[in-house]
Amino acid sequence: MDDVISTHPALLDAAAAASDHLPAEAAFANDVPLDNPRRFGDLMWTQFDTRLIPDPSLLDKAIQATQIAADLEQEPSETPQLFFDLGVRLQARYGLTGSLEDLERRTSAFERSVGLTSDDDPEKLCRLNQLGTSRVERFMRIGELEDLHAAITAFSRAVELTPDTDPEKPARISNYGSAVEIRFKKVGELEDIECAIAAQKRADELIPSGHRDKFQFSSKLANSLLTRFERTRDLEDLQQAIAKHRHAVELTPDGHPYKPAWLSYLGCALLTLFKHTKELEDLEQAISAHHRAVELTLYGHPQESQQLNNLGNALLTRFECIGELEDLEQAVSAYRRSVELVPDGHLNKPARFNNLGGAFLMRFERTGELEDLNQAILLHRRAVELAPNRDPHKPTWLNSLGTSFSRAFERSGELEDLEHTVSAFRCAVELMSDDHPDKPLVLHNLCNELRVRFEHTKNSDDIVNAIFAVRRALELSSEESSEVYRYYNGLAGCLQSRFSHTGNIDDIIDAISFSRKAVELFPDNGPRLSSLLWNLGIAQRLLFLRTQTRADFDGAIDSFMKSTQNISGSPFERLRSARRCTLMLSEYPSFSTMNSLLSAHSHIISILPEIVWMGHSIHRRYEQSSLLGELVNAAVSAAITFGSLKQAVEWLEAGRVLIWSQILALRTPLDELHDSYPTLADALRSVQRQLQSSAHSTFSQDIETSSNIPGIMYSSAAENHRSIAIKYDKLMKEIRGCPGFECFLRPKKFDTLIPSLKLADGPFIYMNVHSTRCDALVLSPDGSIMHVVLHDLTEHRAMRLRTLWAAELDARNLRQRAPVIGLPQSSYGGAAELSRLLGLMWRWIVDPILKALGVSQHAAWAESSQGNANCTTKLNRLLCVILEWMKSPVLDTHGWQGHLKSSDHLLHITWCPTGPLTQLPLHAAGLYNDPFGPRAFDLIVSSYVPSLSTFQRSSEGVAKPNIEPSTLIVTQPATPGQARLPGTVAEGRQLEEVLLGWKVRHDTLNDAKATVASVTDIMNRHSWIHFACHGSQHAGDATESAFSLHDGSLSLRDLMGALAADNAELAFLSACQTALGDEKNPEEAAHLAAGMLAVGFKGVVATMWSIGDKDAPVVVVDYYRTLLEQRSARVVEEGNTGAAYALHDAVQVLRKKVGERNFLQWAPFVHFGV
């Protein structure tokens, strides 16, 4: 018809004119003229078929008219053609709408047309062909085998009636072969695929070489050969299929409508070849072909779903081989789009559900995202529900469902999940014939779950049946099978379980043998290798526990280490292997060496960033990091034990505050990189900006419902974030491959950290708490490290101290700034307990460190005070102690003697505690029950810092000469929805008086003027900022911790986006618990003080618990006055701010005012940074 219209354009005009000039008196039915509905239908069809942009209303009229014409036709010879025309037009509308009703009517119309056409009518051949095609489409839509049988009958009859000289005969033979092949895929009878191949060969032979359609028939033959290969594994079929598909692709130009299909067929054949040969080049070619097929497929084309599904298969296969997350993400995306394009009820819907579920399951196994597991179970259940038992693919989908439930059981430990798993695998096995290529795999899976159930229930029948199942899997497989390694691994697991139950040593010896064979047969270093090596290591460990020989010990350690070193493996599996390795090495020191143990710990530290991966949501990262602190403390403890103190420092830096490190990495200047590799720098900066906007998201508000997939939820924002994180990782890998940038944004080495201490005015002290030992590492400006063993401190004692101290705070509800000072000390009722706890902190933690430094000279002071009348007051006592310091050879040895210039300058210590110590006020430790007992504040000035890297950034930021300060004062006496803080107004007013007295420029935003916008607009004009308001700590995301302003919260994330970090120097957070952190995740320093350092401030004054509304102004006024005096006298040295000494003096003023034993009033004030 198109050719006719293009040759005779006047015909279209005539058709339109005719429809416009129908007789006015003509009778109509539903807008169809009844005097000649056939003519009207033809006219409407012509107009529809010839328009560049089809008008569906014209097609509707054509169908209406043709239906009426067929119903009214009196001439029998015309009726078959009318029903045929009706079928063609319904076929066109079905292509537009996908309406099942149109498909049903179309099939019925072609049935009527064929039934009314005699065998000698030459039109019958075309009508039979159309009927067969319609029946196939109906089968693909609703899965009724009757349709497929009818289609095969129609195609067969068309072939019989077509003479060999008819040029259409090859096509009709091919159609017949395709229908029989579909039946084979559905029913599984081998005879059908043999018949299909014979038909396709015959069709191909009838087309002469060089014919324009030759490649179409060759491609169909190739598909049939590939289908047979998947059943029989005859490699000759596969080789022929690939050769024919390549030929078809080469002969077809890109613009040809069949080119995408040929590319997709070639990709499938190459993917199948790869699974047989394991040659990566075959896989790369397969992916390339599938990508090209998708690119050439028009959006919305009926084959788009299939092309996307095939692409997903190839990408998922490459992920299984190489472990690149990018492939997995792209596979999930391709599968989801493929499912969305398949209408409900379509025969391919279960298969699409199954594939998408498999991708979700694999992503769960890699990333641990629980929602992916839930989605996988839902999809696999749906696939099984949609498939009748006679469907040959149902066992495959049952196998997938069983695998999903297996992972659910591993996660939950619920026996119900395990029972679902066993049931699914049993059903799959029962539905499979022994010649089914996947039966060995399903038997293996059943074996694994029966073994797991045996381990939980101790029912010996389960282990017997498990071993029988896996041995049967091996019997049904050849050694050349790419999956046979699984079956040996499964058999090894069964024998290992039986050994644990019976103690028969032959079982564990055989288990190791089979496990080794599984590792040897594994085709590459893909992600699964880590799991296989783990299993081997576990078996070898069990044998070692029996034999206690070095050979067996070394074998287990070697397997665990190789599992850990397989970088394509899941980071969770690699971490598991590394942990097991460290436990064995620690438990059996006679078999261990320093190098082996430290190497294992080193692998743990290196894996941590993959566990707390940037691609996870912020909540997931905090959740994961909360589980890792003990691993870092264990590694540091081991390094200290072996005297590897520099290594201990590096691990303390690399293993803590992981999320702050990620945040800061996204804000790192790239000037040096840009000078050498500008293209890489620009690309990295672009990705950093994208991650800055998404890295703090939870994605819980971005959940979308996937169209056409009931119950499936996903977050496109989360998927986009993961995609960006993957790009970031790839860029970092590329940059670190460039000369001079091998350590770019990696955790810093000791030699690069130490230079920052040259500007320090005292020692930097790490404290590590572990179940095996507790230690302090004292870093001096010259780079030396002093190791102090905290003999009296244990992990249990440290945790108990934290618990008891927190209980005292909770008993007084000290969680927010209070509008009044609180009750008199006599009403607190807990001064004695607080004093006791502070005494324990002194004895167990602070005193041993100060003694090692030569600072604590309590014994010497006690002796001199008894014989010296001048030492009867605390002041004289302090002077005596200072004199003892001045004589201390330890201070002189470490270069701190010069920092003790007068009694006004005590030694400044920067504490970097870990674990439970992060929530203890070490600066307030002392023996308060003894009126002449030592107090930390009498001996030292204390600062805190989350890490040495943070200290380094802060120190370098103030290394330049002090700039003239200016201050922004923010006060909130009546924040909506919060307790009133009337004292903040007085605090702000008194601070203004101090600043005016020193002629310091300042701005004040009070009450309603202190909005989020006003603060962010003005803060970059000032180097100091003072917040007197409520604050909030966000446990799930420290960047959401915020200051409560008049119109909302000013979060750390807001500050990161608005603050000019170079100009920011000091912050005073006169708010509640701004330095407390999260008890469940102490190593992340998830509090406002650490956040303000990350934002760019060099020093921060904060509080460890709530402060009294009347106490804060006392500290504030004296702090700023002292600080400005120091600045004026120029006694603040390069690399320092003077804030620590100023706060020390200010707290002393408050302490004298409220009384030394009112600990909860003066002790919360702390200094962070430099």
SS (H, E, C) 510-572: HHHHHHHHHHHHCCCCCCHHHHHHHHHHHHHHHHHHHHCCHHHHHHHHHHHHHHHHCCCCCHH
pLDDT at 3: 39
Q: Please give the sequence-ordered ranges of beta strands (E in DSSP) within 119-161, or none if there are none.
A: none
For the segment(s) 959-1169, the CATH number from 3.30.70.360, 3.40.50.2000, 3.40.50.1460, 2.160.20.60 is: 3.40.50.1460
Please tell me the distance from the alpha carbon of residue 19 to that of residue 48, in angstroms, as a whole number: 13
Please determine, for residue 124, whether its predicted confidence score (pLDDT) is greater than 50.
yes
To 10 degrees, what angle do helices 169-187 and 190-206 make?
Answer: 160
Q: Find the mean pLDDT for residues 903-924.
A: 90
Choice between 788 and 1071, residue whose per-residue pLDDT is larger: 788
- Tokens 């012509």, residue? 46
Please tell me the distance from the alpha carbon of residue 1056 to that of residue 667, in angstroms, as a whole number: 9
Choice between 940 and 275, residue whose per-residue pLDDT is larger: 940
Please tell me the distance from the alpha carbon of residue 381 to that of residue 385, in angstroms, as a whole number: 6
pLDDT at 873: 41
Please determine, for residue 50, whether its predicted confidence score (pLDDT) is greater than 60.
yes
Whole-angstrom distance between the N-terminal and C-terminal Cα of the chain? 85
pLDDT at 871: 41
Q: Which residues contact 866 (CB under 8 A, 6 or more apart)?
A: none
Please determine, for residue 957, whether its predicted confidence score (pLDDT) is greater than 60.
yes
Please determine, for residue 9, whether its predicted confidence score (pLDDT) is greater than 50.
no
Please determine, for residue 1163, whether its predicted confidence score (pLDDT) is greater than 80.
yes
Least confident of 138-142, 160-164, 592-596, 726-730: 138-142
Q: Find the mean pLDDT for residues 554-571.
A: 96
pTM value > 0.85:
no
Going by pLDDT thresholds of 50, 70 and 90, the confidence category of residue 701 is low
Please tell me the distance from the alpha carbon of residue 138 to that of residue 147, in angstroms, as a whole number: 7
- Side chain identity at 493, as an amino acid letter? G
pLDDT at 698: 60
Cα–Cα separations (whole angstroms), residue 981 to 148, 1034, 1156:
80, 22, 25
Structure tokens given for 486: 């699984």
- For the chain, give the mean pLDDT: 86
pLDDT at 870: 38
Q: Which residues contact 74 (CB under 8 A, 6 or more apart)?
A: none
Choice between 1142 and 783, residue whose per-residue pLDDT is larger: 1142
Give percent of the chain above pLDDT 70.
Answer: 89
Choice between 605 and 1055, residue whose per-residue pLDDT is larger: 605
Q: Find the mean pLDDT for residues 1140-1158.
A: 96
- Side chain identity at 945, as an amino acid letter? V
Sign of the torsion formed by the C-alpha atoms of 957, 959, 961 and 962: positive
pLDDT at 34: 67
pLDDT at 54: 75
If we measure between CA atoms, which residue out of 1018, 1100, 1015 comes closest to residue 1065?
Answer: 1100
If we measure between CA atoms, which residue out of 107, 34, 95, 28 comes closest to residue 59?
Answer: 95
Please tell me the distance from the alpha carbon of residue 761 to that of residue 781, in angstroms, as a whole number: 8
To 10 degrees, what angle do helices 528-547 and 550-565 make?
Answer: 160
Structure tokens given for 593: 């060496």
Dump the DSSP string for 219-274.
HHHHHHHHHHHHHH--HHHHHHHHHHHHHHHHHS-TTSTTHHHHHHHHHHHHHHHH
Cα–Cα separations (whole angstroms), residue 1128 to 104, 195, 965, 997:
93, 99, 11, 12
Please tell me the distance from the alpha carbon of residue 281 to that of residue 276, in angstroms, as a whole number: 13
If we measure between CA atoms, which residue out of 1036, 1031, 1032, 1039 comes closest to residue 1080?
Answer: 1036
Give strand pairing partners of 764: 779, 910
Give strand pairing partners of 967: 1002, 1024
SS (H, E, C) 274-311: HHHHCCHHHHHHHHHHHHHHHHHCCCCCCCHHHHHHHH
To 10 degrees, what angle do helices 304-322 and 325-340 make?
Answer: 160
If we measure between CA atoms, which residue out of 1147, 1126, 1139, 1133 comes closest to residue 1098?
Answer: 1139
Please write the tens of the pLDDT for every residue from 977-1012. 888 888 899 999 999 999 999 999 999 999 999 999
Domain map (residue ranges) of the chain: 669-744, 762-944, 959-1169
Residue 612 DSSP one-character state: T
Please write the tens of the pLDDT for every residue from 369-412. 899 999 999 999 999 998 877 777 889 999 999 999 999 999 99
Please tell me the distance from the alpha carbon of residue 70 to that of residue 58, in angstroms, as a whole number: 18
Please write the tens of the pLDDT for every residue from 242-282. 988 888 888 788 888 888 988 999 999 999 889 888 888 99
Going by pLDDT thresholds of 50, 70 and 90, the confidence category of residue 654 is very high
Going by pLDDT thresholds of 50, 70 and 90, the confidence category of residue 705 is low
Give strand pairing partners of 1044: 1049
Q: Which residues contact 553 (CB under 8 A, 6 or more apart)?
A: 544, 584, 588, 591
pLDDT at 393: 85
Least confident of 505-519, 646-660, 805-819: 805-819
pLDDT at 383: 93
